[in-house]
Amino acid sequence: MTLRKTLAGLVAGLSMTLASGALADWAPKGPLKLQIGFAAGGSTDTMGRVIAKVMKEQTGWNVIAENKTGGGGLAMFTGISKMPARGTVIGMGVNMPILVNLNKRPEQVPFDLDSFDYLGTVARAQVALVARADAPFDDLAGMIDYSKANGGIAVSFDAAPQKLLMEVVNAKEAADFRFVSTKGEAEGQKLILGGQVMAGFSAGTHVKYLDSGDFKMIAVGNNSRHSYAPNTPTINDLGYDAYVDPYFYFATTAGTDPEAKAALADALAAAIESDEVQKVVRNVASTDPLNLGAEATKAMMVDGLQNVGVLFGQ
């Protein structure tokens, strides 16, 4: 056994020991519901159900996964914000729809960021701006110049923040990008490969096309570069003060007993460290698992709210 594997085993064992110690002092009274803010069958649902299963196996708690759809998680988190803080319901959602709504129509959203206690994250989607390998530009500056010289080019997106991010570039450069909305990454990738759009956004599934040589990276949409493409700059790196950082995250009702909150966060962390959850995250989210922990998850939401304000020109 290598030293690296030995150390990894010790770290994993320590995580489980710490989690077990916290869990021994607190357990939910009755079932623990892991509510998922999206419909069955999607990536969030798939990850959430495996996490609930592993948590149940590791803790002995009665953990039940259930879907609470509506508004990209808005309906689910509205319900959680109004519940008694008993530590019996965890919400799993994606930060971007929540942050967009809190910026776009805060007076209509019945909660704010302080309505929740944050427990951690499981992954960050790797958002990339990609183009076909034979596109007549290799980077964002070249893409802007080509668009200006040719009366504008079409760019696909499947989530509103992606379009808003490119609108920031458009506003600064008068690049005349024209936007094509798609129902998902697969549709956008077909449009890129077919030449109906010159570039488009993807959140992980583009990597296989980079490996096959069909796509090339133009820029990174996240706030930091991707491990598989360390030389590709972020849009933020290039002087545009905006980014898109979609995180899959967990929260419960604000005011939850600190002991319960710690036990829930530890149980989630232990489940995310499991081989089963690690595998499903890589399969469905096309990225490595990433748990920020409770405090850093809250900071991510606070910083993200400010960043989404920039996307809306605030």
DSSP string for 80-138 = HHTS-S-S-EEEEEEHHHHHHHHHH-GGGSS--GGGEEEEEEEEE---EEEEETT-S-S
**Within a domain: residue 180?**
yes
Number of domains, the chain: 2
Q: Would the pLDDT of 12 be above 80?
A: no
Question: What is the chain's mean pLDDT, rounded?
Answer: 91
Confidence band of 8 (pLDDT split at 50, 70, 90): very low
Its domain, for residue 250, covers 29-125+246-311
Q: Do 46 and 100 share a domain, yes or no?
A: yes
Question: How far is Cα 296 from Cα 293, in angstroms, rounded to an integer?
Answer: 6
Question: How far is Cα 160 from Cα 308, in angstroms, rounded to an integer?
Answer: 11
Q: Would the pLDDT of 4 be above 90?
A: no
Is the pLDDT higher at 36 or at 13? 36
Domain CATH code at residue 167: 3.40.190.10
**Within a domain: residue 257?**
yes
**Within a domain: residue 7?**
no
The per-residue pLDDT for 188 is: 92
Q: Would the pLDDT of 163 be above 90?
A: yes
Written as one string, the DSSP assignment of 126-187 is: --EEEEETT-S-SSHHHHHHHHHHTT--EEEESSHHHHHHHHHHHHHH----EEEE-SSHHH
Is the pLDDT higher at 198 or at 185? 198
The per-residue pLDDT for 184 is: 83
CA dihedral 256, 61, 51, 278 (to 10 degrees): 110
Contact 205, 186 (CB under 8 A): yes
Q: Do 209 and 143 share a domain, yes or no?
A: yes
Q: Do 157 and 215 share a domain, yes or no?
A: yes
Q: Would the pLDDT of 247 be above 80?
A: yes
**Within a domain: residue 23?**
no
* The domain boundary residue, chosen from 220, 236, 270: 220
Question: What mean pLDDT is predicted for residues 228-246?
Answer: 93
Span 33-92, pLDDT tens digits: 999 999 998 889 999 999 999 999 999 999 999 999 998 899 999 999 999 999 999 999
Contact 125, 149 (CB under 8 A): no
**Within a domain: residue 185?**
yes
**Cα distances (angstroms) measured from residue 156 to each of 38, 84, 151, 198, 245:** 23, 42, 17, 8, 18
Which range among 9-18, 136-145, 176-185, 193-202 shows the weakest confidence by mean pLDDT? 9-18
Confidence band of 227 (pLDDT split at 50, 70, 90): confident
Domain CATH code at residue 108: 3.40.190.150
Q: Do 108 and 138 share a domain, yes or no?
A: no
Which range among 133-142, 238-247, 288-297, 304-313 shows the weakest confidence by mean pLDDT? 304-313
Closest of 118, 110, 111 to residue 91, by C-alpha: 118
Q: For the chain, what percent of residues have pLDDT higher than 90? A: 80
**pTM (predicted TM-score):** 0.84
